[in-house]
Amino acid sequence: MRSVGLGELERDVMDRLWAAGAPLTVREVHEQLAAHRKIAYTTVMTVLDRLAKKGVVRQEREGRAFRYSPAATREQMVADLMLDALGGVDAVDTRQAALVHFVGGVSPAEAAALREALDALSPRAAGSTGETAPA
């Protein structure tokens, strides 16, 4: 999936699709959105079509209508955006400084989750370089 930033309405549509757990039609998404905001059916149809063209949602024909589902989980999409942002920086020291700045802004629980994820990667990384992980 290509990394892409989303506007407010696109994020709202994606929130509905992620929460649904099954593909939704334009009408179903529109009904959910219309319960909280004034929005035209054609606007929802246009947003879903644009998200499909961006590769953010999958579009499946069902009879005369289309059903839409996320192309990736919310977590995958956020990670892709973060990696895409880092990928635009060539200097290693700038990338590292950005990561340090990011880590400085996370909560203690998020820092613990990052530490746990890095610890889980350490044995795999050591194995790929021929080194042994500490016991």
What's residue 2's pLDDT?
Answer: 47
Is the same domain home to 61 and 99?
A: no
- Give the residue from 70, 98, 114 where a domain finishes: 70
Report the distance separating Cα 39 and Cα 72, nearest Å.
25
Regions of the chain with pLDDT less than 50? 1-3, 130-135
Name, in order, each residue with C-beta under 8 angstroms of 85's C-beta and a sequence gap of 6 or more: 98
What's residue 135's pLDDT?
Answer: 44
Range of 100's domain?
74-129
Is the same domain home to 104 and 82?
A: yes
Is the same domain home to 57 and 78?
A: no
At 44, which CATH number? 1.10.10.10
Identify the CA nearest to 19 among candidates 28, 83, 110: 28
- Give the residue from 50, 70, 90 where a domain finishes: 70
Is the same domain home to 66 and 78?
A: no
Residue at 49 is within a domain: yes
What's residue 129's pLDDT?
Answer: 52
